[in-house]
Amino acid sequence: MRTLKTWALDARDANGVTLTVDGTHTLRIAVLEEALFRVSLKKAGEWRLDRTWSVAPEEDVPFEGRSREDLSGFSLPEFTCTEGETLTIETDALRLTVENPLTMRWDARQADGTWKLVAEERPTGAYMLGIRDHRNSHFLLRKPGEKVYGLGEKAGELERSGRRYEMRNLDAMGYDARTTDPLYKHLPVTFTVTPDAGAFSVFYDNLASCWFDLGNEFDNYHKPFRAYRALDGDLDYYFAWAPEMLDLVKGHTRLTGGTAFMPRWALGYSGSTMAYTDRPNAQEELEGFLVKLSEHAIPCDSFQMSSGYTSIGSKRYVFNWNYEKFPDVEGMTKKFADAGVTLIANIKPALLQDHPRFDEALDAGLFVTDSETNSYADAVYWDDSGAHLDFTNPASIAWWQKGVTEQLLKKGIACTWNDNNEYEIWDDEARCNGFGKEIPVALIRPLHSLLMSRASKEAQEAFDPDHRQYLISRAGCPGIQRYAQTWSGDNYTRWETVRYNIRMGLSMSLSGIYNVGHDVGGFSGPKPEPELFVRWVQNGIFHPRFTIHSWNDDGTANEAWMYPEVLPLIREALAFRYRLTPYLYTLTWLATTADEPMLRPTFLDHPHDPRTFEETDDFMLGRDLLVANVVDKGAAERTVYLPKNETGWWNFWSGEYHAPGTEATLPVDLASMPLFVRAGAVIPLSDGANRANAKADTARTLAVFPVPGRFEATSVEYEDDGDTVNWREAAGHSQTHYALSGDDAGLTLNWQHEGDYKPPYETVRILLPEGEERSIAVNGMADANGKTVGR
């Protein structure tokens, strides 16, 4: 590795400047937005990989990738450039100064018009490149008081300072949610909150394995620094600034292509377990699940079939049905369809060497190729070894999509669960087709999970073009959220997992992956004790993905009815999940159309309250609900800090009002699900629905939470049929805009509709919290509390 030092201005154009570094390398600074700059370093003037699959600011990238030279989708604003001993590039919001030796600093314009230092690179070496390889490093100085977030699916506390993290996708079954690293996903983006100059993010558009050292490392020859080090690839990063971190999070999600809008039923409870499909009578077990749902009065919208349906002996073979375990596949899928439970099948991107179709795929050249031979790159996989399909090969994509269509969709399986797609091929020079331009696998391991999910989604869309598609993927990289929902992988059953999975989900959400959840009850290890199971379910219902899943050591399955003594509490939690569906569905729409995260650390909406930056188990679900789950064994009380805002908070259950910036200590028992609502909010609730689809939402309550004294507030609700693809058209949806106001004399709620969609309910019931004594007039009806009002 060599430190880069000298630079000279080579050229300036309408979109940025080009520097020559150390007489050999090319450094490009592009001004993409007023507060978004891109810095790209090309070794010896050449890209290591000339394409990206993560950056998609306007529309999805081609399957073969987007040229790194492509600047479409950005506003490309005007800027000034001043050259002297230093080089200064300035927009109305951000100023970048290049100094000698090669070092950059960023200043941001504050609300009062002044400039403040936001970030600066290490003056004793900011950039390093490999001499005989393509390693690269980037160093920033660490400043007192900075708080660093991001990096996606990482263990431990939400704030990352002082630790070191690795990005290298692994199948980390049974991981420790507090300490294990690395995990399944590759999300190389950090968000830094400064003490007085706003927040900045740095996104490294590189899929090669890398490390982030955020203060774990000390070196006598340098000031305190933080480091990004990559084993390969291009040093190509996006630097963004905003006064508040929420804007950075939304901007990063837009940069990487936004969020898929999935069907409404995906918000319902999804059953799953390895146990059923591993048993000899697997079809009977799955059909028995439907019987037990009815027997125990458990609402459920989908079931995720684990890979045991593909087994030969103890091993798994993608697109192979074990007809001894499943003698009547179409009969089974019809029973699920008739019950309104969508089936989702697990599929894997590698073929074991004794797979019945292995030679067929090998002869067709569908696998990632060994670096030294023309054979497949052999890799350990599921208790054996085998070959991974190359999703940068159009022939592999076509083979895969045919398998999805013929073996799943035509048999009545509606959706795909793209699993075990971490691509642990450790022959770094193993060759991928690269859509006709060969790429070593070390450059693009995480890309295969993204392209696998995209291939599956396109197969589903071709088979069923009139309905929105649902997919799951375990591994991923920036952009995976354009195609699939994800989760935190194969967690271990212990109390600590619930606490740190909360942080893991929040971190993924900060890093652009909004549609997330966790294996409720714990996947690996012992089955959960009754108290832990109840608390896990009570936590799970407040996440976008809600799935009870397991592969318990004793062969048992985590099921809603597994402990009769707590089954009533499980029913209560599930019923509340279904009651929240209208609110949750609006959040999914906002995630897609406005890049609003669904899960939010409390500081994201309350950045001016220092206490919200303290580590906590609390989180926001949307901007209006503050969730304070009980995650301690034997807890008798729960203390909740209610952030400083302009309105205050209501206890959802008791109807008690709390002033902003105060603590509430609540007595709790095993039934408790502490929940607070931002005063000023209108929360739509479904009454009595036992499915998450729109047709089941036949009775509606509007829970209205006023602000004391004089106030005005607005809320929005989104509705459609939950399924079809014309949801953007006026005929396909309805937006309801609520205007809530009040003074000491009374309250008023009015609403207006946009769009032509007609929901199945015709009236709504108005409900005020018990602690609210003022009367409310709704659309002209006086004293409407507790009454039904025409929609």
Task: Please give the DSSP secondary-structure letter assigned to residue 679.
Answer: T
Contact in structure between 643 and 664 (CB atoms under 8 Å): no
Residue with tokens 């039923």: 265
CA distance 663 to 643: 9
CA distance 253 to 245: 13
Mean pLDDT of 578-596: 98
DSSP secondary structure string, 337-365?
Answer: HHTT-EEEEEE-SEEETT-TTHHHHHHTT
pLDDT value of position 629: 98
Q: Which residues contact 670 (CB under 8 A, 6 or more apart)?
A: 531, 534, 566, 569
Q: Per-residue pLDDT tens for 264-320?
A: 999 999 999 999 999 999 999 999 999 999 999 999 999 999 999 999 999 999 999
pLDDT of residue 618 exceeding 90: yes
Helix axes 394-407, 445-463, angle to 10 degrees: 50
Q: Select from 669, 667, 651, 668 the least CA-distant residue to 659.
A: 651
Q: Per-residue pLDDT tens for 414-471?
A: 999 999 999 999 999 999 999 999 999 999 999 999 999 999 999 999 999 999 999 9
pLDDT of residue 476 exceeding 90: yes
Task: Please give the DSSP secondary-structure letter assigned to residue 465.
Answer: T
CA distance 17 to 585: 44
Residue with tokens 């002209």: 780
pLDDT of residue 8 exceeding 90: yes
Q: Per-residue pLDDT tens for 61-72?
A: 999 999 999 999
CA distance 233 to 442: 9
CA distances from 780 to 639, 735, 739 (A): 40, 20, 13
Which of these CATH numbers, 3.30.465.10, 3.40.50.2300, 3.40.1190.20, 3.20.20.80, describes 269-283+300-486? 3.20.20.80
Q: Which fold has domain 682-790?
A: Immunoglobulin-like (2.60.40)
Residue with tokens 């009065």: 297
Pairing of strands 776-778, 746-754: parallel
What is the percentage of the chain residues whose pLDDT exceeds 70? 100
CA dihedral sign, ordered 243, 247, 252, 256: negative
Rounded to the nearest 10°, the torsion over CA 759, 765, 771, 773 is: 130
pLDDT value of position 383: 85
- Around Cβ 531, how many Cβ atoms within 10 Å? 17
pLDDT value of position 232: 98
Mapped onto helix, strand or coil, the DSSP state of residue 448 is: helix
At 691, list the tokens. 């499915």
Contact in structure between 501 and 488 (CB atoms under 8 Å): yes
What is the percentage of the chain residues whose pLDDT exceeds 90? 99
Distance of alpha carbon 144 from the chain centroid: 30
CA distance 370 to 103: 40
Instruction: List for the chain the helix, strand, coil content (%; round to 5).
Output: 20, 30, 45
pLDDT value of position 207: 98
Homologous superfamily (CATH) of 2-151+188-255 is glycosyl hydrolase (family 31) (2.60.40.1760)
Contact in structure between 735 and 752 (CB atoms under 8 Å): no
Q: Would you kindly state where each structural domain of the chain is located, as residue ranges?
A: 2-151+188-255, 269-283+300-486, 593-678, 682-790
Domains 2-151+188-255 and 269-283+300-486 in one fold:
no
pLDDT of residue 644 exceeding 90: yes
pLDDT value of position 186: 98
The maximal CA–CA distance of the chain, rounded, in angstroms, is: 82
pLDDT value of position 780: 87
Pairing of strands 25-33, 80-83: unpaired
pLDDT value of position 291: 98
Q: Which residues contact 115 (CB under 8 A, 6 or more apart)?
A: 95, 107, 108, 109
pLDDT of residue 790 exceeding 90: no
- Would you call the peptide bond into 123 cis, given omega within 30 degrees of 0 as the criterion? no
DSSP secondary structure string, 298-322?
Answer: ----EEEE-GGGGEETTEE-TT---
Task: Please give the DSSP secondary-structure letter assigned to residue 62.
Answer: P
Task: Please give the DSSP secondary-structure letter assigned to residue 616.
Answer: -
Q: Which residues contact 655 (CB under 8 A, 6 or more apart)?
A: 768, 769, 770, 771, 772
pLDDT of residue 791 exceeding 90: no
Average pLDDT, the chain: 97
What are all long-range contacts of 379-382, with beta carbons under 8 Å and residues at least 24 apart?
379/350, 379/424, 379/425, 379/426, 379/427, 380/424, 381/350, 381/352, 381/420, 381/424, 382/315, 382/316, 382/348, 382/350, 382/352, 382/420
Q: What is the pTM of this model?
A: 0.98
pLDDT value of position 277: 97
Pairing of strands 235-242, 36-42: antiparallel
Q: Which fold has domain 593-678?
A: Immunoglobulin-like (2.60.40)
Rounded to the nearest 10°, the torsion over CA 611, 616, 622, 627 is: -120
CA distance 570 to 562: 10
User: Helix and strand tally (H, E) in the chain?
Assistant: 12, 53
Q: Per-residue pLDDT tens for 157-176?
A: 999 999 999 999 999 999 99
Mean pLDDT of 663-685: 98
Task: Please give the DSSP secondary-structure letter assigned to residue 781.
Answer: B
Q: Per-residue pLDDT tens for 72-88?
A: 999 999 999 999 899 99
Q: Per-residue pLDDT tens for 689-725?
A: 999 999 999 999 999 999 999 999 999 999 999 999 9
CA distances from 540 to 248, 309, 609 (A): 27, 27, 27
Contact in structure between 613 and 644 (CB atoms under 8 Å): no
Q: Per-residue pLDDT tens for 234-273?
A: 999 999 999 999 999 999 999 999 999 999 999 999 999 9
Q: Per-residue pLDDT tens for 185-224?
A: 999 999 999 999 999 999 999 999 999 999 999 999 999 9
